[in-house]
């Protein structure tokens, strides 16, 4: 399977980007309309998150999401080609110098990220800023896909740490003055997460970023990449979030809620660019389970 994916990766990399994106949109349409992968989950999540929107608007967002996922796929398979020309043509920073300054301070730096836009293109960070970068993310269940993406990420200088049992490795990365990014919009099991409000419902969320910020006294820099209508991608850096007051449960919960609120605010602006197929609210709180 991994050999087949590598062949597909080589083929996608060989065709012009405009053609690859058209292929991606078609794949997204098939994924959403023929395969219908988690389509009902996506529609239900959208309806509950945007009760003010009509059924037509909900279906339009879902359809755009699948197209975006298809384009994400073909772009992600090309990240091994990232160079100055690619960045000049496809990626812009809202303020690259501000971002470079925030990640190049001594003692490392912490970033808040999410599955918004084409998050895989944040692989440009180590290339453009010439700064070591590590991302905390869940391992993809499909081993072949996980292997290929891991190789592509490593090729552009991006290091990946697993979401579980990597706290010490995170501290080591920060000691090496690395930029450490957390993808914080995925469901966690009850024993490993804290419940915070996300689109009006409790969502089980990793407290790891808050603990690291509290322990190291480093602020958290929200960084997201948004797909633009002109085919380019905009990397936006939001104001830093100060460290929690301490590592007590209330402080950690409050900080994790802050991070989640920032993510929600961005998603509300571009709802079609988030992964509504992810069952974000799958883990139920004790109160809701009892009810």
Interatomic CA distance for residues 192 and 253, integer angstroms: 13
The edge-to-edge listing of strands for the beta sheet with 220-227 is: 91-93, 233-237, 220-227, 109-113, 179-183, 133-137, 158-162
Q: Which residues pair with 205 in a beta bridge?
A: 194
121 to each of 29, 71, 235, how far by Cα in Å?
Answer: 22, 12, 9
Task: Give the position of tokens 């089980």.
Answer: 204
| pLDDT tens per residue, range 264-285 | 999 999 999 999 999 999 998 7
Report pTM.
Answer: 0.93
Q: Which residues contact 59 (CB under 8 A, 6 or more apart)?
A: 43
Find residue 116's DSSP bridge partners: 274
Q: What is the largest CA-CA distance in the chain?
A: 56
- Is the separation of the CB atoms in 218 and 202 below 8 Å? no
How confident is the prediction for the chain on average, in pLDDT? 90
How confident is the model over 167-218, as pLDDT tens digits? 999 999 999 999 999 999 999 999 999 999 999 999 999 999 999 999 999 9
Task: Determine the Cα–Cα distance for residues 69 and 43; give it in Å rounded to an integer.
Answer: 16
């Amino acid at each position: 399977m991994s050999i087949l994916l590598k062949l597909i990766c080589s083929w996608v990399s060989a065709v012009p980007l405009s053609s690859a994106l058209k292929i991606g949109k078609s794949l997204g349409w098939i994924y959403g309309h023929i395969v219908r992968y988690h389509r009902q989950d996506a529609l239900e999540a959208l309806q509950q998150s945007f009760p003010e929107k009509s059924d037509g608007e909900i279906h339009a967002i879902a359809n755009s999401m699948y197209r975006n996922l298809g384009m994400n796929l073909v772009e992600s398979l090309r990240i091994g080609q990232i160079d100055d020309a690619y960045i000049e043509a496809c990626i812009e920073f809202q303020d690259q110098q501000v971002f470079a300054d925030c990640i190049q301070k001594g003692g490392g730096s912490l970033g808040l990220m999410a599955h918004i836009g084409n998050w895989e293109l944040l692989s440009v960070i180590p290339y453009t800023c010439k700064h070591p970068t590590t991302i905390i993310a869940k391992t993809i269940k499909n081993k072949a896909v996980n292997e290929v993406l891991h190789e592509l990420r490593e090729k552009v200088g991006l290091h990946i740490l697993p979401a579980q049992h990597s706290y010490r490795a995170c501290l080591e990365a920060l000691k090496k003055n690395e930029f450490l990014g957390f993808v914080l919009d995925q469901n966690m099991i009850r024993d490993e997460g804290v419940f915070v409000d996300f689109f009006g419902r409790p969502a089980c969320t990793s407290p790891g970023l808050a603990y690291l910020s509290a322990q190291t006294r480093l602020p958290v820099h929200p960084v997201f990449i948004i797909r633009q209508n002109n085919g380019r991608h905009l990397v936006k850096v939001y104001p830093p979030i100060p460290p929690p007051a301490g590592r007590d449960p209330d402080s950690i919960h409050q900080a994790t809620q802050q991070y989640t609120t920032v993510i929600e605010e961005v998603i509300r602006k571009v709802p079609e660019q988030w992964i509504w197929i992810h069952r974000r609210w799958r883990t139920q709180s004790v109160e809701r389970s009892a009810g």
